Copies of this chain bind each other. A is one copy, B any other.
Amino acid sequence: MNMFNQVKREIGVNFNEAKNAEIRFWAPEADRVDIQTAQKLLPLEKKDLGYWELQSDALQPGSTYNFLLNGETLIPDPASLRQPEGVHGVSEAVDLKAFVWTDQAWKNPALGSYVLYELHAGTFSPEGTFEGVIGKLDYLLDLGITAIELMPVAQFPGERNWGYDGVFPFAVQNSYGGAAGLQKLVNACHEKGLAVVLDVVYNHMGPEGNYFGQAGPYFTEKYHTPWGSAINFDDAWSDGVRRYFIENVLMWFRDFHLDALRLDAVHAIKDLGVKHVLQEISQEVDLLMEATRRNYYLIAECDLNDNKYINPLTQHGYGMDAQWIDEFHHALRVTAGEPTTGYYSDFTGIKHLEKAYRDGYIYDGIYSPHRLKTFGGKAEGNTGSQFVVFSQNHDQVGNRMLGERSSELLSYEMQKLMAGAVLCSPFLPMLFMGEEWGETHPFLFFTSHGDPELVKAVREGRKAEFAAFHAEGEAPDPQSEDTFNRSRLQWDLLEEEGHQQLLSFYKTMIGLRKQYGPLNNTERSQLTVSADAATNCLVLKRWEDGVQVLCLMNFSKKTQDITIPDDKPYWRKILDSADPKWKGPHAAPASIDALQ
């Protein structure tokens, strides 16, 4: 096992106590490496395993630099902490220890108590910065969520990007506020009692400003990914690449006090070595937790329906604490009327939703017509707190050609029902920014690449992507600033009654989840669920310590009779989304007698 430094990054530029820069750069195939500062060119010394090192006072926090390879090629630092002029410019030395933390009282809550809120820093607030997010924390607290989840913040080209085109995993996007801005945001969240999750991308690098191939063998041709060559986690020289990403994980927890990382599309992290890099990450995070006496969570986006990813290391698992589960979303949306085109074609509606509540994975070893093969395994032994569910997220909204949110696609009644379906689940619920007030703006795919060829390719790729959806019309231009502006939240909608009412409904639902033990209990064995395809109704019963909660969901467009479990004589209504109180058509009785 490799042991990583739990005190500071083992790559890039760090400052020691004497305020000297400790410079470490990985370039195993270079013959010579120099660091180019504004004033000087200084040679680095070759060490074992492809590392080059120098200790010098020629760099101070705020100094800019590049590395010069073989006396010929000048590139920014792959482990740069700041790119003041963007992805193509110089790197800037940053002292991450300069920030004064005041979150000593913060304690990361149990994962099972997370109510997540996914947000994109650029479009969430009017300012489009971390500072703008800080301005909305009181709103989020009032909403009741317990954790914000930031879409990726690693430096990307330009100022408009979802974040998945990042090319400097250690550098916080300068236009959002950089490293200090993120540290300030996390500190503010912790002071207010909110956890912070960060989305990180370890399965590919963005297409522009990607100087990795020049620095070292970061990529391998062994595997194909949707983004081209795979990141080299198991081929020659992979130790250095693995170390690079492990250092990244440790940095976010140690130097930014993040509470959890959301690892993007881990199914595209290809590693057939004995120890999967996710296992090594998990081991290293365990050691860091011991050292810092804080808890950190690893949440994977994974579409393989393979609980190996979320099983503990002791059970030969990869040790992720939880995973996203898109199938719940797909089943829920089809139940709510989504046309079954594209990847929705595998979903039949409410019987699948029933299975999702019960089994977690829907395709759990059965034949998937969309994939043309038997797919997945059973999620046996995994608790509900290992699955993150949602009725919308950046991908599910933004990957639609027109980026429509539920508010544009579904009735007001259905929006409330979907919120309830997510918030009453035994899984970790996640909202996507603005869904709680029925934001009417879309969330579109947007970029601000600088390379005209790439801009063209992205535009064309975007069009090709919608073939499966048989959508009509033109896809909005990702590169246009208008596309970005149309994706920003409209906070002034909260002055309108319908939107206020929906927000109030979300607050109430979140409050009930927190208030009722059966609803915040993520023990999957304490529920029963049954769905009726004819009426499109579902009955979810949950319990804890003698208290039972019954969730009756009618996804049809008319009144339906529902048979309720007869083991309890009397049920008191605690919430009714169809109540005129919530702008609904009519309320059900305030109580029912099951034995009538």
In the complex, whether A374 has a CB less than 8 A from a CB of chain B is yes
Q: Are A274 and B308 in contact (CB under 8 A)?
A: yes
Contact B365 A1 (CB under 8 A): yes
Nearest-CB residue, chain B, relative to A221 = B224
Nearest B residue to A361, CB-CB: B274
- Choose one: B1, B270, B274; the contact of A305 (CB below 8 Å): B274
Q: How far is the CA of A367 from the CA of B372 in the complex (A)?
A: 40
Known A223-B223, A224-B222; judge A367-B239 contact (CB<8 A). Answer: yes
Comparing A75-83, A230-238, A404-412, the segment that makes contact with chain B is A230-238
In this assembly, does A286 line the interface, its C-beta being within 8 Å of a C-beta of chain B?
no
A455 an interface residue at 8 Å Cβ cutoff?
no
* Distance in angstroms between the alpha carbons of A49 and B2 in the assembled complex: 46
- Distance of A584 Cα from B404 Cα, bound (Å): 86
Set of chain B residues within 8 Å of A367, measured between Cβ atoms: 49, 239
B235-A377 in contact (CB<8A): no
A365 touches B222 (CB 8 A): no
Q: How far is the CA of A273 from the CA of B272 in the complex (A)?
A: 12
Task: Determine whether A573 belongs to the interface, using a CB cutoff of 8 Å to chain B.
Answer: no
Asked if A304 is an interface residue, CB under 8 A from chain B, the answer is: yes
In the complex, what residues of B have CB within 8 A of residue A224's CB? 221-223
B316/A235 in contact, CB under 8 A: no
Complex Cα spacing A238 to B373, Å: 6
Whole-angstrom distance between the Cβ of A315 and the nearest chain B Cβ: 7
CA distance A270 to B270 in the complex (A): 11
Contact B372 A236 (CB under 8 A): yes
A435 to chain B, nearest CB (A): 32
Q: Say yes or no: is A371 at the interface (Cβ < 8 Å to chain B).
A: yes
Q: Are B274 and A376 in contact (CB under 8 A)?
A: yes
List, in ascending order, chain B residues with CB within 8 A of A376's CB.
274
In this assembly, does A586 line the interface, its C-beta being within 8 Å of a C-beta of chain B?
A: no
Residues 71-101 of chain A: 1 if any B CB is under 8 Å from the residue's CB, otherwise 0?
A: 0000000000000000000000000000000
Question: Closest Cβ of chain B: how far from A49's Cβ, in Å?
Answer: 8
Instruction: Look across to chain B and name the residue whose beta carbon is closest to the beta carbon of A374.
Output: B239
In the complex, which residue of chain B has the Cβ closest to the Cβ of A304?
A: B274
Q: B residues within 8 A CB of A375? A: 273-274
| Contacts of A208-237 to chain B: CB distance below 8 A | 221-224, 234-237
* Interface membership of A275, Cβ < 8 A: yes
Distance (whole angstroms) from the CB of A499 to the closest CB of chain B: 43
Residue of B nearest to A372 (CB): B236
When the two chains form the complex, which single residue of B49, B221, B274, B374 contacts A365, counting CB atoms closer than 8 Å? Answer: B274
Asked if A373 meets B235 with Cβ closer than 8 Å, knowing A308-B274, A316-B315, the reply is: yes
Contacts of A270 in B (CB 8 A): 272
Query: Which listed residue (B235, B272, B316, B371) contacts A236, Cβ 8 A?
Result: B371
CA distance A94 to B580 in the complex (A): 76
Interface string of A360-382 (1 = CB under 8 A from B): 00000101000111111100000
Cβ of A131: which chain B residues have Cβ within 8 Å of it? none
Asked whether A2 and B372 contact (CB < 8 A) given A223-B223, A274-B306, A316-B315, the answer is no
Report Cα–Cα, A234/B223, bound state, in Å.
14
Map CB proximity to B onto A233-250 as digits: 1 under 8 Å, 0 otherwise. 011111100000000000
Please measure, in the bound complex, the distance between the C-alpha atom of A222 and the C-alpha atom of B374, giving whole angstroms.
Answer: 17
Name, among A222, A272, A367, the residue most crowded by chain B CB atoms within 10 Å (CB to CB): A272
Name the CB-closest residue of B to A368. B236
Q: Closest B residue to A232 by CB, please name it.
A: B373
Q: What's the Cα separation between A306 and B273 when bound, in Å? A: 8
How far in angstroms is the closest Cβ of chain B from A259?
30
9 closest Cβ contacts across the A-B interface?
A274-B377, A236-B372, A316-B316, A274-B306, A238-B373, A237-B372, A239-B374, A239-B373, A274-B376
Q: List 20 A-B contacts (CB under 8 A).
A: A28-B372, A49-B367, A222-B224, A234-B373, A235-B373, A236-B371, A236-B373, A238-B373, A239-B367, A239-B373, A273-B304, A273-B306, A273-B375, A274-B306, A274-B308, A274-B375, A274-B377, A275-B365, A308-B316, A316-B316
- Given contact pairs A236-B373, A274-B305, a sample of 11 additional A-B residue pairs in the complex whose CB atoms are under 8 Å apart: A28-B372, A222-B223, A234-B373, A237-B372, A237-B373, A238-B373, A270-B272, A273-B306, A274-B376, A308-B316, A315-B316
